[in-house]
Amino acid sequence: MATESLTQRLRRPPAQPLIDLRRAGVSYPGQRSPALQPMDLAVRHGELVTLTGPAGSGKSTLLNVVGLLLRPTTGSYLLNGSDTATLADSERTALRGRRIGFVFQRPQLLPTRSALDNVMLPVLYAGLTRQERITAATGALHRVGLGERLHATVSELAASERQRVAIARAMVTDPSLLLCDDPTASLDQAAAAQIIGLLVSLHKDGRTVLVATREQLAAAHSSRRLGVTAGAPAGSPDADA
Amino acid sequence: MIRRSLSPPTRLRLADAISEAVSSIVARPARAVITCIGTLLGVAWFVTALGLASTANGQVTTAFARHLPTHVLITPKGTGAVPAASPYPIDVERRLDALHGVVASGVFWRLRLGHPVVVSAVPQPAQGTTGAGQGAAARQAAVLATSPGFLAAAAARVSQGRTFDAWDQAHRAQVCLAGADAAKAMGIGDLRRQPAIYIDDVACVVIGIVGQASGQQSILRSVMLPTATAAALWGPPDARAGAVPAVLIRTKPGAAAVVARQAPLAISPTRPAHFRVSMPPSPLRLRDQVMSTLTSMFYALGWVSLIIGTLSIASVTWLSVRERAAEFGLRRAVGARRRHIVAHVVCESAILGLTGGLAGASLGVAVVILLAWARAWVPVIAPLTVLPAPLAGAAAGVLAGLVPGLLAARIQPAAALSTSIAG
């Protein structure tokens, strides 16, 4: 087992939690209160977990830690049983690029590019040929219902369409873990319902999904709901299961 | 959907990096133009400076060529068995004229008789009654015994009358030429009255007035008569009195040095060392110094402009990277490694540098041609300075993109994504 790679372990049937935070917290130099209080969190494969809480409560920081965009300054984070503290930057990048999909609060699309170009961005770094990238991105856009809007530029898309493009970009590499940071924050109720429905369907495909949201609708579909307040979880996550 | 091995690190093909860079450039045309302008001006000035250096060198060479020595003067080192013996063979002019680069050559000597030579436009009164101002002025004119070849070698042009010919030389005709200054001093202006000049009381008819002599300006103040006439009237040149025959050679521009080396051998293959050769100092060394200084100055200006262009790209690229922090954060978040970000930024600045270099090289060539046309110069542009100019622009772009690229690679995606991607 000593030679088993993290990737191989990620593919292995779930014997341990996919996400395992152990007293993991984040503090920034010069700030009196931590951005994320030390917390424990275990998420099993295939779960849909919603993180709820007010703005500034640390939901985004938690997702950044889970998505390997931030390193915890205290405690440890085990991803599928491997301590992420031991990962080199290139390994963290590879995991972000291939196994983790991220939907940000703002769609964060390249504004002058088409929907197709934006969705192709993650697979650009996967070493695929242009044709393979187009095939993958087209499939992802069809999946989110934008098969007819492939070549529309971002400025031509409605807010909900932009968020769907962002979801398509997150799933174009077929990640096993999907992290969504308040994806319905700027949408009306009908559009938010569409997005939540889309995330639920992606979860039903077998993905592990973490959604930071203020939407009760998302919480209603989740297998677990975790409240986060003032940078710390509001009680034992397992208690919400 | 794709399913690929998870192990390998993410990668970015060069073609994809270039394609992404082009897309990013096209997406922000105004910024691209601003970035290009720095390189464009830098490379344009670089090409202009080098083009002007080449053109100026050509002009300097042309200007100096006009001042290259075209005359060689040969005199005997020893006085010889004077006055009977001439230091030169009788066919000295034919021998010298046969040398490559010689335009004309001729023998001459100043008439010295062991006493002051009186030169006057009127017969001199008996000794003791001299006092006319005219005579006093005339005494300052030198009298030269010259061969027809000498007049050609001195590039003498008559403003009135004619020069000597073979008949005058053969028949020892008592004719003379007056230099324009000497003629004016003696009051000789109109040759239709057939004036005469009295040289040591020997009358010689003035057949021409020499108005120009670019090769020997001093003859404008002299009176010249055929060597055969002078020898017949006063005997061969008397070295003891200071009359040393010399040979003046006129050469084609640039040939003087070679002719100076060959002439003594042509005159006397067995005794070349018996002749002293003198020629005006060559301006070639001065020309080389001027050209070297000019070239160094223009090269320095060219390099300074290129460095300024590089710094210009670097500053605009750095500002661009700061504005696009969220974009680079996103790229890092979705799988771009630090080296991919560096490659992206460097590709962008290299492409902009190449574009600016192409435009700048074209502008530089146009400026050189226009400036040369305005000054009626011949534009000289070395292909080796123009053709690599776009590559120099690209290289400047690569250099300029390195630091901003490294800074972009250090952007923390979590922090960068807290803001929206700039349009």
At residue A82, the 3 state secondary structure works out as strand
Supply the pLDDT for residue B135. Answer: 46
How far apart, in whole angstroms, are the C-alpha atoms of residue B320 and residue B32? 10
Supply the pLDDT for residue A13. Answer: 55
* pLDDT average, residue stretch B31-55: 86
The answer on B313 and B231 residing in a single domain is no
Q: pLDDT confidence of B85, banded at 50, 70, 90?
A: low
How far apart, in whole angstroms, are the C-alpha atoms of residue A62 and residue B386? 57
CA atoms within 13 A on the CB side of B147: 18
- Asked which of B232, B261, B281 is the last residue of a domain, the reply is B281
Encode burial over A67-87: b for 16+ CB neighbours within 10 A, e otherwise: bbbbebbebebbbbebebeeb
Residues in A touching B27 (Cβ below 8 Å): 110, 112-113
Q: pLDDT confidence of B1, banded at 50, 70, 90?
A: very low
Residues in B touching A70 (Cβ below 8 Å): 414
Residues in A touching B324 (Cβ below 8 Å): none
CA atoms within 13 A on the CB side of B354: 11
Supply the pLDDT for residue A169. Answer: 95
In a domain, residue B335? The reply is yes
pLDDT along chain A (241 residues), means of 10: 55 74 89 86 90 82 93 92 89 91 90 93 90 94 91 91 92 92 82 84 89 71 70 44 28
Q: How many CB atoms lie within 10 A of CB B128?
A: 6
- Asked which of B248, B281, B314 is the last residue of a domain, the reply is B281
Say which DSSP state A126 is in: B
The answer on B193 and B148 residing in a single domain is yes
Contact across the interface for A126 and B5, Cβ inside 8 Å: no
* pLDDT single digits (tens) B168-186: 888 999 999 999 998 888 8
The answer on B274 and B328 residing in a single domain is no
In a domain, residue B2? The reply is no
* pLDDT single digits (tens) A196-231: 888 888 888 889 999 988 766 666 676 777 777 655
Select from A11, A104, A124 the Cβ nearest to the Cβ of B12. Answer: A124
* pLDDT single digits (tens) B237-277: 887 777 889 999 999 888 888 899 999 999 988 888 889 99
Contact across the interface for B423 and A111, Cβ inside 8 Å: yes
Contact across the interface for A104 and B5, Cβ inside 8 Å: no
In a domain, residue B52? The reply is yes
Query: Residue B145 belongs to what domain range?
Result: 71-281
Residues in A touching B327 (Cβ below 8 Å): 110
The answer on B354 and B230 residing in a single domain is no
The answer on B88 and B163 residing in a single domain is yes
In a domain, residue B8? The reply is no
In a domain, residue B1? The reply is no
Contact across the interface for B332 and A136, Cβ inside 8 Å: no
In a domain, residue B236? The reply is yes
* pLDDT average, residue stretch B111-121: 79
Residue of chain B nearest A120, judged by CA positions: B334
CA angle B367, B369, B370 (to 5 degrees): 65
Strands A208-212 and A48-52, bridge-based pairing = parallel
* pLDDT single digits (tens) B331-379: 999 999 999 999 999 999 999 999 999 999 999 999 999 998 998 888 8
Supply the pLDDT for residue B131. Answer: 45
Q: How far is A112 from chain B (nearest CA, A)?
A: 6
How far apart, in whole angstroms, are the C-alpha atoms of residue B306 and residue A31? 46
Supply the pLDDT for residue A133. Answer: 93
In a domain, residue B270? The reply is yes
Select from B6, B337, B340 the Cβ nearest to the Cβ of A99. Answer: B6
The answer on B161 and B76 residing in a single domain is yes
**Among A residues 26-65, those touching chain B with beta carbons less than 8 Å apart:** 64
The answer on B148 and B32 residing in a single domain is no
Q: How many CB atoms lie within 10 A of CB A186?
A: 15
Secondary-structure percent of chain B, ordered helix, strand, coil, rounded to 5: 55, 15, 30
Residues in A touching B413 (Cβ below 8 Å): 69
* pLDDT average, residue stretch B62-71: 77
Q: How far is A45 from chain B (nearest CA, A)?
A: 17
In a domain, residue B423? The reply is no
Q: pLDDT confidence of B11, banded at 50, 70, 90?
A: confident
- Asked which of B217, B250, B281 is the last residue of a domain, the reply is B281
Question: What is the total count of domains within chain B?
Answer: 2
Supply the pLDDT for residue B129. Answer: 47
Interface predicted TM-score of the whole assembly (ipTM), two decimals: 0.86
Supply the pLDDT for residue A218. Answer: 62
How far apart, in whole angstroms, are the C-alpha atoms of residue B123 and residue B135? 9
The answer on B293 and B254 residing in a single domain is no
Residue of chain B nearest A105, judged by CA positions: B418
A–B: how many Cβ contacts below 8 A?
A: 113
Predicted TM-score (pTM) of the model is 0.68
Residue of chain A nearest B332, judged by CA positions: A93
The answer on B145 and B251 residing in a single domain is yes
* pLDDT single digits (tens) B278-311: 887 766 777 778 778 878 888 888 888 888 888 8
Hey, what are A12's tokens? 């292995």
Say which DSSP state B274 is in: G
Hey, what are B77's tokens? 């080192």
Dihedral sign computed on CA atoms, order A82, A83, A86, A88: positive
Contact across the interface for B9 and A123, Cβ inside 8 Å: no
User: Which residues are within 8 A (CB) of A10 and not within 5 positions of it... i.e. 6 or more apart?
Assistant: A79, A80, A99, A176, B6
Mean confidence (pLDDT) of chain B: 84
The answer on B119 and B223 residing in a single domain is yes
The answer on B250 and B145 residing in a single domain is yes
The answer on B290 and B275 residing in a single domain is no
* Interface mutation target, options A7, A63, A124, chain B, most CBs of B under 10 Å: A124
Contact across the interface for B10 and A104, Cβ inside 8 Å: no
Supply the pLDDT for residue B164. Answer: 86
Share of chain B above pLDDT 90, in %: 32
Q: How many CB atoms lie within 10 A of CB B222?
A: 24
Residues in B touching A95 (Cβ below 8 Å): 6
